[in-house]
Amino acid sequence: MPRAGLDRAVVVGLALDVVDADGWPGLTLAAVAARAGVAVPSLYKHVAGLPALRLEVAAACIDEVTAALTGARGTRTGADAVRAMAGALRAYGRAHPGRYLATQGAWAGVDGADDVRRAGAAAVGLLVDAVAQLEVPEAHRIDAVRSVRAAVHGFVLLEMDGGFGMPDDVDASFDYLVDRLVSGLEDPSRSRSQRS
């Protein structure tokens, strides 16, 4: 029996359920239609197709990540803010692996993605602000932000994929990673002198 009251918000909610159950690659119109109890063509009354639905899902997930980063940052600044937001990203990835992957640019290049790109940039802007408070020279601020994002993202992906098989405490490894990143950003001249 078709689901009563199907609308765009409900379709996006069902798509998020699919992403939670089957991962970001598992998001298809057929999977959403099955959850809704309707035929795939019925979804076109509410969304323009799979690329448009993926944008809607990505936007919802980016909003969740932005809220998580904002909450973790709170009144923290500088190193404390970077540590808290790194932990929030990891926690979000662990709790919602499919949604986390939806935030990682898999929607890039899709027509109509400008709003999603702006939302993603605003989320990254929270980290940019915290890194700026570490007194990273402006000429290297983007490098620093990319370094933090790449390191945390790599850790999250390895953890999602079961890539940490050794018995050592994974939380301790994550803290070590973030501490080394922050200490390097706080005193970039020390890193250069150590390589000399």
pLDDT in tens, 71-95: 999 999 999 999 999 999 999 999 9
- The residue ranges of every structural domain in the chain are 1-47, 50-187
User: Of 1.10.357.10, 3.30.70.20, 3.40.640.10, 3.40.50.10800, which CATH number belongs to 50-187?
Assistant: 1.10.357.10
Confidence of residue 194 (pLDDT cuts 50, 70, 90): very low
Calculate mean pLDDT across residues 39-58. 94
Domain boundaries 1-47, corresponding CATH code: 1.10.10.60
CA 75-99-147 angle, 5° bins? 55
Task: Say how far apart CA 18 and CA 32 lie, in whole Å.
Answer: 7
pTM over 0.85: yes
SS3 labels along 88-127:
HHHHHHHHCHHHHHHCCCCCCCCCCCHHHHHHHHHHHHHH
Mean pLDDT of the chain: 90
Task: Say how far apart CA 196 and CA 191 lie, in whole Å.
Answer: 9
